[in-house]
C-alpha cells in the first residue's frame, strides 16, 4: 500500500493492540482489587453459576447455625434450671428426713415445714423463669419445640420436660405431721428420680444439637474453601500479570506514537 494521510494501517494495528492490552490490564486490576478471578458471569459463566449456588448454601447454613445456637441456648437454660431444681429437691429431702425423726417437737416441725415450703416455692420460681427467647422447656405451661438443623428444613425435636411442683408430685407435700412427712419422703424420692430422667432427656437432645452445630460449621468452612478455589485470584500471578501489562501498555503507546508519526514523512516529498 502506498503512502496515505487518510489510512494509516500501522496506527490501526498499534491501536488495536493497545486497546487489547488496556482491557487485560483493567481486568487484572479488578482481580487485584477484589481478590477474585471470577467477578461476574462474563468472566466464566459456568464457574460463576456454581459459585453463586454454593454461596447460597453458605448463607442458608449461616441461618441454620443461628437456629442451632438458639436451640443450644434454650436447652442450656433448661438444663441449668433443672440442675438447680435437682439440688433443691436434695435439700428438701434432708428436711423431710429430719421431720421423720421420732419425738420431734412442734416448733421444730413447723420450722422444717416452713423451710420445705420455701424451697418448693423456689422450684416454682426457677421453673417459671427458665426461659430463653420466649421458650420455656420446664415450666408448668412448657410445650415441645423443634430446632432447625439443615438447609432443607430438617429439624431436631425437643420435648418439653416439665419440672414444676405439680408435675413432680410435691405441690401438696407437708411436714406438719409425722405421717405427712413419711408421705413427703416417698414423693421427694419420686421427684428426684423424675428430674434426673428429665435432665437426661434434655442432655441427650442438647448433645445432638451440639454435634449438628459443629458439623454445620465444618461443612460451611468446606463450602467456603470450595468457593475460594473456584473464584479466588492468585495474587502472586495477578501481580506478575499486572506488571507485564503495564509494560505492554507503555510499549503500545510508544508504538502508536511511532505509527502516527509515519505520515509526517509525506511532508518531505513536498519540500
pLDDT in tens, the chain (271 residues): 566 667 777 778 888 888 888 888 888 888 888 888 888 888 889 999 999 999 999 999 999 999 999 999 999 999 999 999 999 999 999 999 998 887 788 899 899 999 999 999 999 999 999 999 999 999 999 999 999 999 999 999 999 999 999 999 999 999 988 889 999 999 999 999 999 999 999 999 999 999 999 999 999 999 999 999 999 888 888 888 888 888 888 888 888 788 777 777 767 767 6
Prediction pTM value: 0.78
Which of 161, 76, 78, 86 is CA-nearest to residue 119?
86
- In angstroms, the CA 92 to CA 175 distance is 11
pLDDT of 12 reads 84
pLDDT of 13 reads 85
pLDDT of 264 reads 73
pLDDT of 85 reads 96
Q: Confirm if 241 and 28 have CB atoms less than 8 A apart.
A: yes
DSSP H or E stretch at residue 147: strand 145-148
Chain-centroid distance, C-alpha 34: 25
pLDDT of 42 reads 86
- Return the SS3 of 157: strand
pLDDT of 261 reads 78
For 85, the grid coordinates are: 431444681
Amino acid at each position: 500500500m502506498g503512502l496515505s494521510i487518510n489510512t494509516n494501517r500501522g496506527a490501526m494495528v498499534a491501536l488495536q493492540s493497545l486497546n487489547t492490552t488496556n482491557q487485560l490490564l483493567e481486568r487484572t486490576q479488578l482481580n487485584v482489587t477484589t481478590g477474585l478471578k471470577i467477578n461476574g458471569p462474563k468472566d466464566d459463566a459456568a464457574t460463576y453459576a456454581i459459585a453463586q449456588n454454593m454461596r447460597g448454601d453458605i448463607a442458608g447454613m449461616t441461618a441454620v447455625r443461628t437456629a442451632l445456637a438458639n436451640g443450644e441456648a434454650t436447652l442450656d437454660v433448661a438444663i441449668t434450671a433443672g440442675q438447680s431444681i435437682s439440688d433443691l429437691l436434695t435439700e428438701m429431702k434432708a428436711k423431710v428426713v429430719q421431720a421423720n425423726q421420732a419425738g420431734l417437737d412442734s416448733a421444730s416441725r413447723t420450722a422444717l415445714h416452713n423451710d420445705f415450703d420455701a424451697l418448693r416455692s423456689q422450684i416454682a420460681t426457677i421453673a417459671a423463669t427458665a426461659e430463653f427467647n420466649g421458650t420455656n422447656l420446664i415450666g408448668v405451661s412448657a410445650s415441645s419445640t423443634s430446632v432447625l438443623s439443615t438447609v432443607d428444613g430438617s429439624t431436631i425435636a425437643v420435648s418439653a420436660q416439665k419440672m414444676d411442683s405439680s408435675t413432680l408430685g410435691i405441690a401438696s407435700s407437708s411436714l406438719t405431721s409425722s405421717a405427712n412427712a413419711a408421705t413427703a419422703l416417698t414423693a421427694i424420692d419420686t421427684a428426684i428420680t423424675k428430674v434426673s430422667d428429665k435432665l437426661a432427656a434434655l442432655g441427650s437432645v442438647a448433645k445432638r444439637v451440639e454435634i449438628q452445630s459443629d458439623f454445620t460449621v465444618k461443612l460451611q468452612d468446606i463450602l467456603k474453601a470450595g468457593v475460594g478455589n473456584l473464584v479466588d485470584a492468585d495474587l502472586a500471578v495477578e501481580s506478575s500479570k499486572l506488571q507485564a501489562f503495564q509494560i505492554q501498555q507503555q510499549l503500545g503507546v510508544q508504538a502508536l506514537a511511532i505509527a502516527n508519526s509515519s505520515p509526517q514523512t509525506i511532508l518531505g516529498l513536498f519540500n
